Every structure is written in C-alpha cells, then in structure tokens.
Amino acid sequence: ASDDPARKEVLKKEVDSALEIFQAATRRLDESSPRFARVARPNPLSLSEIQALIDADSVLLEFSLTETKSFLWMISKAGLKTVELPPPGELTSLARQAYESLTARVREERFESPEKRTTRIAEADRQFTEASQTLSRLLLGEIAPDIKGKRLIVVSDGALS
C-alpha cells in the first residue's frame, strides 16, 4: 500500500497544498507586521557585521551541539576561530552532572537527616568542582589564551544552555 503510486501522488499534492497555504499566510503576516517578521525570521549577520558590534575587549563564543558533533566558534575583532569539541553526549553528560551538583543544595530529600544532608551536599560540591573543571577544560581549553582578560558573550546550545 505504501508503494502505491496513486496514493503517493495524492499525498504529494496534499503536502504541496499545505505548504502553499503556509507560505501565503507567512507572506501576509510579514506584510502586515514587518517588525514581527524581522524578529521571527532575522537575517543572519555576516562575520564583519558581528565584528563591528564587538569591542576590542570582548569575544563572542557560540557553541553548537548537533547529534554527532560539537563546535565552538570564537569571533573577535581579530577574526574567527573554529574548534571541534568532544562529542555532544560527553558534553551533555558533564553539563547535566554539573547542574545536578550545583542544585543539590536546594533539593529537598524526604526523610533526610541533617548529617546525611551535609554529606550529600559536600559530595555534590566535590562533584560540581570536578565536572565544571572538566567541562571548562573541554569547552575553553584550546582558546583559553585568546579569551584571557576578555569580556565573554556566550551563545549556548542544548545542555550548555
């Protein structure tokens, strides 16, 4: 049934029709509210346009985690540097570990004694230090000399947000 050419043609026409309706609605919305259109679908800036917005004491760091790869783009007045980072799964795991450890202090555990709470928080503090140092080294290690003393503008992605 899924190989039926007539059925495929009917489905293709339905998809094409829905796409035309969507595009027409988008055009009407853009015409009636150009300001909304600029916010909803901004035009990406070029490298030189981004550099013009950054002062000499600042660096823009943009992280991207795809399904299989992770990247860091560093933009400064001096130029662009691209770094391939460890796999997203590794970064996501470390980021979640750091987050869980950081928020351990505000988590309430049922029937937890004050001594157990103190022990749990001390362990979470140790885990946070370890996870955050590892994450920092993996994310920023290669560019550390380039960002020393700079104001960082960070655009994060995925679990890094």
Per-residue pLDDT at 90: 95
H or E stretch at 58: strand 58-65
Amino acid at 63: F
Per-residue pLDDT at 119: 95
Q: Are 70 and 159 in contact (CB under 8 A)?
A: no
Taking residues 109-135, report their average pLDDT: 95
Per-residue pLDDT at 3: 77
Per-residue pLDDT at 4: 86
Q: Are 136 and 95 in contact (CB under 8 A)?
A: no
**C-alpha span between 46 and 40 (Å, rounded):** 18
Q: What's the pLDDT tens digit per position in 1-44? A: 567 888 889 999 999 999 999 999 888 888 898 888 888 888 88
Q: What's the pLDDT tens digit per position in 56-113? A: 999 999 999 999 999 999 999 999 999 999 999 999 999 999 999 999 989 989 999 9
Per-residue pLDDT at 2: 63
Per-residue pLDDT at 26: 86
As a whole number of Å, the end-to-end CA separation of the chain is 44
Question: CB under 8 Å to 12, separation ≥6 — which residues?
Answer: none
Q: Which two tokens stand for residue 73?
A: 């783009």
Stronger pLDDT, 54 or 39, i.e. the higher one: 54
**C-alpha span between 139 and 59 (Å, rounded):** 15
Buried b (16+ CB within 10 A) or exposed e, 110-124: eeeeeeeeeeeeeeb
